[in-house]
Structure 1
């Protein structure tokens, strides 16, 4: 599938975007361009928003092929890097509105956790929200979206590529909700 020139321009702009640079204890050190943060192996902040409908199904979306990390993967959470002057809460609201077109919804904060794998070191904040309205997908970042039961997502994880960082966020969310 060819990459849209608008997606290439969006990727270049987002790689130059200044994001929060933090240490192993989530203490703010400053700001770095997103691409430089990754190249230097530094730690950034990000948000994950688990968007459910009133039936308890979770919105999963497919990332565009132009994404620097996990291109074409399915993602169980909207979200992204926290900008240098943003709080986790501000980032979560912005990312949900940008990626899925959902705004004005109550975001429930759950926890922060550290995630690391080669090329992806993050302090992550997990949120959830409930939405039954229409989705407006950001074409530069999201190619398609659908609501699935947690069981359907679990079954798909063995067959399709899902973003490992957001899967950890979902697993932690599920573990905290069980008695």
Structure 2
């Protein structure tokens, strides 16, 4: 296993930048936003000498029972206001049972350089949890598979509260990771992963999702 990442979680001193909100005027990380053809707000930000490409996705607000409210907002706004929305993640296993772990690119806007035990992202407008999970696997790892939704829960770790749908998928042990999203990836047996979760810097979602995932599997056995 590679050594744990020591990169600081955030480069910018502005609170708004560190919480994935739009940077304030005068901040070196502020950039110009544009709306893409898919309805996402995109920006190229400058942080020091680095240029960071970020995407502001459109999501649907949901209530405490995970019911869609009919309000479409940007994910940045949902995070800023603490509005519940949906996120889909997948625990990826290969045939021998090892679990895929990856380190996030230094260029991503949220939790750069941290490790993750799940692959995923926000559920876009009109998507189901399963559709969002499948899309994220295709985008980040070039894997075409429909993950199985195991459970959902209200996750209060991370940047803001959200409903998290945890999936599982058996995938090939050779994946083509998107270099813009993934800096490193590897396969760990569960004992190795449990040690890594104590020693490496993982995203908050990884700890919460994997803890519940292990409990779910134990209850099913």
Band the TM-score falls in, shorter-chain normalisation: 0.7 to 0.9
Partner Cα separation in structure 1 for residue 123 and residue 49 of structure 2: 26
CA contact (8 A) 1:50 1:58 kept: yes
Partner Cα separation in structure 2 for residue 26 and residue 157 of structure 1: 29
Q: Which moved more, 1:48-57 or 1:127-136?
A: 127-136
CA contact (8 A) 2:155 2:162 kept: yes
1:100 corresponds to which residue? 141
TM-score using structure 2 length: 0.72
Q: CA deviation at 1:134?
A: 2.3
Q: CA deviation at 1:164?
A: 1.7
User: Is 1:124 paired with 2:164?
Assistant: yes
Partner Cα separation in structure 2 for residue 96 and residue 166 of structure 1: 16
Q: CA deviation at 1:108?
A: 1.6
2:183 corresponds to which residue? 143
Partner Cα separation in structure 2 for residue 118 and residue 170 of structure 1: 14
- Compared CA separation, residues 168 and 118, structure 1 to 2 (3 A): closer
* 1:15-164 mapped onto 2 (5 Å cutoff): 15=56, 17-29=57-69, 30-103=71-144, 105-117=145-157, 119-164=159-204
User: What SS does the corresponding residue of 1:46 show, helix, strand or coil?
Assistant: strand
CA contact (8 A) 1:48 1:166 kept: no
Partner Cα separation in structure 1 for residue 174 and residue 86 of structure 2: 28
Larger Rg: 2
User: What SS does the corresponding residue of 1:138 show, helix, strand or coil?
Assistant: coil
Larger relative CO (CA 8 A, sep 6+): 1 or 2?
1
TM-score using structure 1 length: 0.88
Structure 2: give runs of 5+ residues left out of the alignment: 1-6, 8-47
Q: CA RMSD in A?
A: 1.9
* 1:164-175 mapped onto 2 (5 Å cutoff): 164-175=204-215
User: What SS does the corresponding residue of 1:93 show, helix, strand or coil?
Assistant: helix
User: What SS does the corresponding residue of 1:136 show, helix, strand or coil?
Assistant: coil
CA contact (8 A) 1:3 1:65 kept: no
Count of matched residue positions in the alignment of Structure 1 and Structure 2: 172
